Chain A
Amino acid sequence: MANLQSSFLGIKSPNPFWLASGPPTDKITNVIRAFEAGWGGVVWKTLGTQIKNVSSRYSALNLNGKKIAGFNNIELISDRPLDLNLQEITEVMRLFPDRAMVVSLMADNDRNSWHELVKKVQDTGAHGLELNFGCPHGMVERGMGATVGQDPEIAGMIVEWVMEVAEIPVITKLTPNVHSVVPVGRAVVEAGSNGLSLINTIQSVTGIDLDTLVPNPNVAGKSVFGGYCGPAVKPIALKFITTLAQDEITCRIPISGIGGITTWKDAVEFILLGSGNLQVCTAVMLSGFRIIRDLCDGMNNWMDEKGYQNVADFTGLSLPKLTKWEELDINYHIVARINQEKCIHCGLCYIVCEDTSHQSIFKEDGHPYNTYKIKEEECVGCNLCKIVCPVDGCITMNEQRKGADYLNWKEFQRMGLPLNNH
């Protein structure tokens, strides 16, 4: 059995799964239930100057009958009294001493406020702090949250203020509502942040009620941009994490990976691209804390199969495999092949290739089942047919190199090789 024990910035937890700051970590009742279910740690719901929330607060994006491909919210930071939160944090830590307790913070935009808040939280004995520079709604209008996270200078300054009084590890949580997370990431690393976490939610409109014409979620006939999260944001989160893990400055400190993690496979992917541990919010909001069982179990079995002892054994292993387009091998060429035994004659591969790709599939009419064959000489190896095929392993992509040696685009141009003529 692999060992899932995790240590992130020296903060220990029995597994690498923390609950991200949000409703699941909003109060003692939830957090106790989460720890009883087996979660490794929590990032307590963001504390700051107490606010007031509206109703309704959430909406979702459904896709072809699959509910909730994406989720969105317009909640603010904690709407509960600061002292009550601090008391509860102390109490939970007493009850579950082996779990990680990190507290998310978003103070008013001055040095004193940050100092005061950091000190109060440290008094609870919490293991770490997470600076919320990412909330894309509500707080922005007050000059906090994502506003801070979008400006390297302000972000760096606040981290400096925090580091002046911090006695426990500080993680800076970044917003994805930027063209690149690297400038802010570099600024906070240089300001002394001990770790990074991302992504927070992405500004979004999930949809509009076609009867009332009010976008979701509806608050008395109006709506605002909400923060998008859940399965749909995973690819964006992975991209942002990779850019930090590959940057020479931001790679110096550990990254806590967040954004759409729903299954153990997602979690493994985050680790493979450089996450030191993981945070989950939406997935538990949609299914409850019980999902921790398969998150751990699935990762464990995969690690056993692969022979990894610890999470560290595979952290970042896929990073070198994400390169620049210019470095890709142009001589690599694959073509699709249909396994006629597995084919169920749905024609999906044919119609997508015919209408939008390279007309590389031949249709032989039958009654009622047509036969589909690949025209290998036309196939560009784009993967489209394999992606739409409903049968696993029915379409495979087979290597037919255009040349024996590695050849990149620069070399290709230098050698004056011919481009397509059709």
Chain B
Amino acid sequence: MAIESNRLSEEVLKDFFSDIHPPFEYDEGAVIEANRCINCYDAPCTKLCPTHIDVPLFIKQISSGNIKGSARTIFLSNIMGTGCSKVCPVEKLCEGACVFNLLKEEPVPIAKLQRYSTEKALKEKWNLLIRKESTGKKVAVVGAGPAGLACAHELSLNGVDVTVFEKEEKPGGLMTYGIAAYKVTPEFCKEEVDYITAIGGIEIRTGITLGKDITLRELREKFDAVFLGIGVGKTRGLKIPGEELEGVVDAINFIYNLRTSDYSKVAVGDKVAVIGMGMTAIDAATQSKRLGAKEVTMIYRRSENEKPCTDSQLDIARLDGCHIIWLAAPKEIIGENGKVKKLVCNKMKLGDIDSSGRLSPVETGETFTLEVDMVIKATGQLPYEELIGKSSIRAREGKIVISENSETNIPGVFAGGDAVNGGKEVVNAVQDGKNGAKAILTYIGI
């Protein structure tokens, strides 16, 4: 048992990390599916899309052969419409609301159709949204993730000159560094960011960290307004003995490595335990398996009913052959020579409803032990408590507090995305970015 890289051949890895939701291969396929849409009024799909894309309209535009119009309809509401079509948990958003579900029929494949027209736009570099003439107003955006980029785009469209400060080497946020490799590739992330910035008026300055290289005060002085889209940070600790052992890793770091190096160079154990059952946990488990781990076991303290991931996400893990243990919580990690050897878990049962509105996990007093050589923690991310804590920005449990119009307690400083909601989806971050931009436009008098 050991943590090793290079477990599988290049070809196998390529196959395992290829697109999990492949696009339409033929135009006819898109048209056939587009024609299934019955063009609902006040459509439930649109209502459940956090960015409120006019779904029936963009689908009808595919069936009428107006692909440019279709892509424009999507981008008007969601400039990351292409990325969203690949990463959104649509089964609980638009597609989950499609009226066909009520007839027990497959919903219209909205995401796949959205990908169809927007990918064409990216590939052909269609110039669909035109920037207004510069107003001379300047806004700083911190964080080049979905929230920051969406905010920057909306501002620039309205004639604002935007500078985006990003601590990492590449823009994209978790889209570039966090989301599963079989959903988006680094090349795609770059293409999408390039498409967003192609309207002009957006300068992205990478390698600059707020709180280290620049301060909020400086930004307030040099710019007419500031938007904070800094996301959330590290994974929450397990706070159990043995957490410091070699082989205990943070899911976010694990995936970050996977997204920034060759798959063959990413090390993974023989027997991996993944703690948690959110999207990050699923991604860590499935990608461990796809890197060549022999056994992957997911451990979650509540039961299937309370799980934070969706059914189809769980299906991916199951189909990848991950074991799942419900009602178990890590108690202790036992090591040998400083390396992970065993994971001891408490058996849990369900108790009363807790503050999250779900049945709470309660210890039964019984335990069991798993032989493992790697433990991946995916138990939710912590906000940037340090950065936020040091500043005068009002926060609650590390999450930035904003008013109805996206403004923090500091006038002229706005925020959105994971940094505010504590970690939702890309599409929520995009909507937050748009909301922030609209509020900023009002604030700076445009």
Contact = CB atoms under 8 A, between A and B. Distances in A.
Nearest to B47: A368
Contact of A350 (B35, B41, B47): B41
A370 B31 contact: no
Contacts of A348: 38-41
Contacts of B44: 345, 368-369
A317 interface: no
Interface in A316-371: 344-348, 350-351, 363, 365, 367-370
Contact of B38 (A346, A365, A368): A346
A344 B63 CA distance: 23
Given A344-B99, A344-B102, A65 B40 contact: no
Given A65-B32, A368-B44, A390 B38 contact: yes
A287 interface: no
Contacts of A370: 42
A421 interface: no
Contacts of A65: 31-32, 34-35, 63
Contacts of B38: 346, 348, 390
B97 interface: yes
Contacts of A369: 44, 97
Interface string B93-116: 000010110110000000000000
B32 A368 contact: no
A175 B411 CA distance: 79
A345 B102 contact: yes
Interface residues of A, number: 18
Contacts of A350: 41-42
B245 interface: no
Contacts of B97: 368-369
Interface string B20-52: 000000000001101100111111110110000
A391 interface: yes
A64 interface: yes
A346 B41 contact: yes
B47 A344 contact: no
A109 B166 CA distance: 87
B103 A344 contact: yes
Contacts of A391: 103
B34 A346 contact: no
Interface string B221-249: 00000000000000000000000000000
A260 B377 CA distance: 67
B28 to A, nearest CB: 10
A412 B102 CA distance: 46
B369 to A, nearest CB: 46
Nearest to B101: A344
Nearest to A355: B41
B99 A346 contact: yes
A355 to B, nearest CB: 9
Nearest to B43: A347
B26 to A, nearest CB: 14
Nearest to A390: B38
Nearest to B34: A65
A347 B40 contact: yes
A248 to B, nearest CB: 47
Nearest to A354: B41
B63 A347 contact: no
A348 B99 CA distance: 12
Contacts of B47: 367-368
A10 B40 CA distance: 54
A86 to B, nearest CB: 45
Nearest to A65: B35
A342 to B, nearest CB: 9
Contacts of B102: 344-345
A419 B42 CA distance: 35
B42 A363 contact: yes
Residue from B40, B41, B63 having most chain A Cβ neighbours under 10 A: B41
Contact of B99 (A345, A351, A365): A345
B63 A64 contact: yes
A68 B43 CA distance: 29
14 contacts: A344-B99, A346-B40, A347-B40, A348-B38, A348-B39, A350-B41, A351-B41, A363-B42, A368-B45, A368-B48, A369-B97, A370-B42, A390-B38, A390-B99
Interface of A: 64-66, 344-348, 350-351, 363, 365, 367-370, 390-391
